[in-house]
Amino acid sequence: MPAYKEKNGTWTSKFKYKNWIGERQQKTKRGFARKKDADDFERDYKSNFIRSANIPFDSLVDKYLDAFQENEDTDITTYVRKKRTFDNMIIPYFKKRPINEITELDVLNWQTWIKQKGYDKFPGDGYAPTYLKSINNELSAILNFGCRYYKLPYNVCHKAGSMGKTDADTMQIWTLDQFEQFIGYVDKSAAKIAFDILFWTGIREGELLALTLNDFLPSLKLNIDKNFAVVEGEHIIKDPKNEWSVRSIAIPQFLYEEVMNYADGLYGLSKTDRLFMFTKSFLLKEIKRVANMADLTPIRIHDLRHSHASLLIEMGFNILMISERLGHKSVQTTWNTYAHLYPDKGKQIAFGLQEVKISGITSNQTAEDQVIGLLGEIQKMLPNYNSYETDDIILWNMALKEKSIVDRDVFDDTLQGSIEPEEAFVIMMKDGFYKANDEIIFCFSSRGMPVQYL
């Protein structure tokens, strides 16, 4: 029977239902201030016992989230993200509508409603395609849950089709030169150290923000065993993304020293305190602000991780090592993500060739030792490269005792057939000059010609 009003003005909910084993039961509850409250109680109570396809949509979401939360493998941030999506993007549209009354047209209209919300929030752009896809997936997951447990005949999302797309747009990365250009404009010490760590280690933002001084070892190792997250306004330290994310990676000497110097300047910092007391939003604002100052196209914070991985790939290190360094579940994940060429690769290839020519392949070093050594050498070299790019190149003819200023094209043409011009240019940066043959020597005007060749 429907809810009825008592003599004292309150409302009573009294109804019959069948329990899990099919027995008829009756439930009575009194004392509701409004008829709506009594009706809502009946609806919610029945949803706990009656598994039928006329369950209201919002009740189905509650059951789904309860089941999801009871899974011991559920990450708290994933649960919060799902609940926020349902509360803001799905329940306000479907509300209390029985799930067996939702049609394909309803789903299409909901997709249009979501897209319009995106354009209202971000005029001209709207929500990212990957975000639209993720919202659509949540609705589909709810209806799949209804099919499995509440006798829903089929998932209307499958017939309506999806929106958005699974893969993000092509990642953006910064070359070494671009990163050095960027970091030169960073005017906040904490941000500078954070960006340096992200670029030179490839760790995730959450891993960065969970770091303590204890994680940086004198043996030049960085321990990654925790993650930082903000859950409903509360700052928490939680387990890493997955078991493969727990790792110890080698870091260059210069980075270790930068972190130690930064930590020395933090008053009262203990070895177990977080090094960076800000959140991802601060880093996002800074990378946009500083990139604009440096006349660079801003990239996402996560793209610094992509930049690090791409650098290692172009330096010739095997995909297995890179996968382990990044904390990926499998090598296939790394390959699928980074199977592309690093832009502006010529300079780094030339430098690697020069190192091999001078030092050979060091058999008593691990691959990681070699990569860290190269990272350190490149870091030391980069500021000079930027200055040499604009420096005049001097051609000295020893036979004629004549000198002339030449451009990079003449330099490259002169060396064709004897050595890769990029390799020769790196040698000249390192030594200050390059002897092309018995007659021709090149040098930078700022360094001058060695006396023995004058």
Residue whose C-alpha is closest to residue 309's, from 371, 266, 257, 353: 371
Helix runs in 122-209, H state only: 129-149, 156-160, 176-183, 189-201, 205-209
Say if 132 falls within a structural domain. Answer: yes
CA atoms of 381 and 352, how far apart (whole Å): 12
> Is the CA virtual torsion 324, 327, 328, 330 positive or negative?
positive
| Range of the structural domain that residue 153 is part of | 51-160
**The domain spanning residue 148 has which CATH number?**
1.10.150.130
Residue 234 and residue 153 share a domain: no
CA atoms of 169 and 380, how far apart (whole Å): 33
Angle at 237 between CA 75 and CA 130, to 5 degrees: 50
Give the residue-averaged pLDDT of 236-244.
Answer: 76
Q: Which of 8-17, 171-180, 261-270, 315-324 has the lowest mean pLDDT?
A: 315-324
Say if 254 falls within a structural domain. Answer: yes
pLDDT of 380 > 80? The answer is no
Say if 168 falls within a structural domain. Answer: no
Q: What is the pLDDT of residue 401?
A: 81
- 13 three-state secondary structure: strand
Residue 286 and residue 240 share a domain: yes
Give the residue-averaged pLDDT of 36-51.
Answer: 73
Residue whose C-alpha is closest to residue 273's, from 204, 201, 215, 342: 215
Which of 134, 160, 186 is where one domain is finished?
160
Identify the residue with better confidence: 388 or 216.
216
Residue 133 and residue 199 share a domain: no
Winning range, highest mean pLDDT, from 43-47, 121-125, 319-323, 333-337: 121-125
- DSSP-assigned letter for residue 120: H
Give percent of the chain with pLDDT exceeding 70.
80
The pLDDT confidence band at residue 279, using thresholds 50, 70 and 90, is confident
Q: Report whether 91 contacts 110 (CB < 8 A).
A: no
CA atoms of 225 and 302, how far apart (whole Å): 19
Residue 216 and residue 142 share a domain: no
b/e 186-211 (16+ beta carbons within 10 angstroms → b):
beeebbbbbbbbbbbbbbbbbbbbbb
Say if 324 falls within a structural domain. Answer: no
Residue 156 and residue 180 share a domain: no
Q: Report whether 31 contacts 71 (CB < 8 A).
A: no
Say if 95 falls within a structural domain. Answer: yes
Give the residue-averaged pLDDT of 44-65.
Answer: 77
The total number of structural domains in the chain stands at 3
Residue 156 and residue 181 share a domain: no
Say if 7 falls within a structural domain. Answer: no
Tens digits of per-residue pLDDT, 89-101? 999 999 888 888 9
Residue 225 and residue 292 share a domain: yes
Which of 269, 301, 333 is where one domain is finished?
301
The pLDDT confidence band at residue 129, using thresholds 50, 70 and 90, is confident
Residue 155 and residue 189 share a domain: no
pLDDT of 141 > 50? The answer is yes
Residue whose C-alpha is closest to residue 421's, from 412, 410, 409: 412
Residue 276 and residue 249 share a domain: yes
Q: What is the CA radius of gyration of the chain?
A: 31
pLDDT of 192 > 90? The answer is yes
The residue with tokens 């919300």 is 117
Say if 82 falls within a structural domain. Answer: yes
Q: What is the pLDDT of residue 388?
A: 57
Q: What is the pLDDT of residue 344?
A: 47
Which of 301, 324, 348 is where one domain is finished?
301
> Is the CA virtual torsion 70, 19, 56, 101 positive or negative?
positive
Residue 184 and residue 131 share a domain: no
Query: Largest Cα–Cα distance of the chain, in whole Å?
Result: 119
Q: What is the pLDDT of residue 382?
A: 47
